[in-house]
Chains A and B, each alone.
Chain A
């Protein structure tokens, strides 16, 4: 009980601290405004996205209600293309697979993967004696700040340019002005050599198509292209909920997620189905040409298949990570990633409860949602977050994860008739 309260108050302190953080307030205000304008423009320019998101929802629904078949099909398809595919039931299973592939003393370049946060992957790999470079600019900033990501798409959304300049100055040992273009070029120069020196590249995936075993990686910076292509070994780590039935469903997802994430189109989409190969000399197949020689796909369960069995909570797995809900959330606008644990916002409470964190961590997050329902309207998959939050709160109340003052309020209703 004491631990529950302790966790609750720690969360509350963080949340309240965020309220007073001017950086978060200003950065989020700007980001929300820009996001809304750009998303509306993107949806107006491609109005057919409305039809496409419905089709995508059907595809996701099918995949999530046929998960075992989907996993099996994905693994078969991927291995038919000479890739190595694995199903990892737990975080430990996934780490074991990764350790076997990676070992120690390796240089690793990584592009953004929230799934890897579930594994605390960077810490683990460093402990094994590896060196890791996050290559998404936002993640790179976060990694060097020793901070945690604050948004699924823009992890460093709360860090202003002055702070980035200060940080990069320390890295390159030279005083840099808070000039954004200059700061970007510093990161480019620094990371470019790492891409080619790296032994291993690790990325997440936006989708994996079961019928072809293809990994979809969507990005704007171009870092994921290097991560997935330059090192001799490439590993994709992704949740099983990312599986869609067909390659065309994956394409559908690319369109929908980009528009709802406020882009006309992503700058780059990599579709990877196995190692690079050639048969150009005497038709003899050789693996490992310019791209990776070895490609591994790790499909992480970590509670997802249980979530998929529940018709209400299953919706949490429909999430395509466009981030639209976060930009429309009144709490997130003031507290950013402090409203959440590894996954953020109201939907983050569900992910925290069953996938990354547990009920204890999820409790205060679940009781932070105002149930306003604005996220439902913003979501291309129409995920009913308030409905899931209510069900989660019921679960939490039964298991005793409810704060005392809420318990008192309920007791009052039941005894005196009114809560106050």
Chain B
């Protein structure tokens, strides 16, 4: 009997992961060093896979540099957050089972994702909807790299002389309370000058890319980005905005394009990939 079968069987019996005591890897027993010796999973998510492959490319460069073997999930498998935010929560349970079983089947102990929406699906919604902890650990990319930095395994070769600011994505910040990890990562790059927006961390203003607005009223979404750029970012006189969310990345990028600003935008994986060097340093858009 495969693991998948065992799980679905147990789930059928109790409709819960709780009964599945024998989790693949205990979340606490191993440090990250141990976890990353095994293959990890990178849940790329449908938005990055479809619209922001540059984020995926940068992530693979970072993982390769760290000698982390990874398997990609979620290229053709949405995390299900669109179901939640558009009012179809009841469809999430079945969907979540499919997503999770794919990962469990591959015996992956750790999932990293660059998408705050996917991160929330894994860390917040799946356990709630399935009424159980997942048998693998989930980190947002910024949490994962933050831990790597703490273990002194990140080797940055380049200096990046630029003035940047960081936009806290709503789903990573206010919803997941991840504020300091991305900042630590940016500050770990020599010569980079990180200046804060007037409204940062839990007071961060929305870029307009969330909540389906970009699907329902796209022009409102991009105007919100333009307004944020105009009133908050331009006065800082920075070279680049860094963010850590494909929706923020795409919407702010659209805002910059419509405004024809010379401002650069990077998702955090990209700035890190630039700093650790290696070939193909140019932005891949």
Contacts and interface: CB of A to CB of B under 8 A. Distances in A.
What interface size band does chain A fall in? 35 or more
A419 B78 CA distance: 7
B77 A414 contact: no
27 contacts: A19-B220, A25-B227, A330-B205, A330-B228, A331-B220, A333-B227, A334-B223, A364-B216, A367-B212, A367-B213, A373-B170, A373-B174, A374-B174, A374-B203, A377-B174, A386-B211, A389-B211, A393-B85, A398-B87, A402-B87, A410-B83, A410-B86, A413-B83, A417-B78, A418-B46, A418-B78, A419-B78
B32 interface: no
A405 B215 contact: yes
Contacts of A419: 46, 78, 82
A406 B215 contact: yes
For the complex of A and B, 3 pairs with smallest distance between CB atoms = A393-B87, A372-B206, A397-B87
Contact of B212 (A328, A374, A406, A413): A406
A36 B261 CA distance: 28
A331 B213 contact: yes
Main secondary structure, interface of B, reads helix
A413 B80 contact: yes
Nearest to B80: A413
B216 A334 contact: no
Contacts of A398: 87
B84 interface: yes
B86 A406 contact: yes
Interface of B: 46-47, 49-51, 76-78, 80, 82-91, 95, 170, 174-175, 202-206, 208-213, 215-217, 219-221, 223-224, 227-228, 231
A183 interface: no
Contacts of A328: 205
Contact of A16 (B80, B82, B84, B219): B219
A415 B49 CA distance: 18
Contacts of A420: 46-47, 50-51
A330 B76 contact: no
Contacts of B211: 369-372, 386, 389
Interface string A384-412: 00100110111111100011011001100
A368 B83 contact: no
B88 to A, nearest CB: 5
A124 to B, nearest CB: 33
Given A367-B216, A373-B175, A420-B46, A334 B227 contact: yes
Contacts of A403: 216
B206 A413 contact: no
B77 A418 contact: yes
Contacts of B219: 16, 19
Given A12-B217, A372-B170, A377-B203, 10 more contacts: A333-B224, A364-B216, A367-B216, A396-B87, A397-B86, A402-B86, A403-B216, A409-B82, A417-B77, A420-B46
Contacts of B170: 370-374
User: Which one of B50, B203, B227 has the greatest number of beta carbons of chain A within 10 Å?
Assistant: B227
User: Which one of B46, B50, B95, B220 has the greatest number of beta carbons of chain A within 10 Å?
Assistant: B220
A393 B216 CA distance: 13
Given A331-B213, A372-B170, A374-B205, A414 B91 contact: yes
Nearest to A11: B217
A371 B174 CA distance: 11
A19 B223 contact: yes
B220 A334 contact: yes
Contacts of A218: none
A377 to B, nearest CB: 6
A390 B84 contact: yes
B213 to A, nearest CB: 5
Interface in A30-56: none
B250 to A, nearest CB: 12
Contacts of A330: 205-206, 208, 224, 227-228
Given A371-B85, A390-B85, A394-B87, A15 B217 contact: yes
Nearest to A399: B87
Contacts of B175: 373
A33 to B, nearest CB: 9
Interface in A340-392: 364, 367-374, 377, 386, 389-390, 392
Contacts of B83: 410, 413
A173 interface: no
A29 interface: yes
User: Which one of A373, A390, A405 has the greatest number of beta carbons of chain B within 10 Å?
Assistant: A373
A416 interface: yes
B90 to A, nearest CB: 8
B279 to A, nearest CB: 30
A335 interface: yes
Interface string A122-133: 000000000000
Contacts of A386: 211
Given A330-B208, A394-B88, A409-B86, A368 B76 contact: no
Given A330-B206, A330-B227, A370 B213 contact: yes
A414 to B, nearest CB: 6
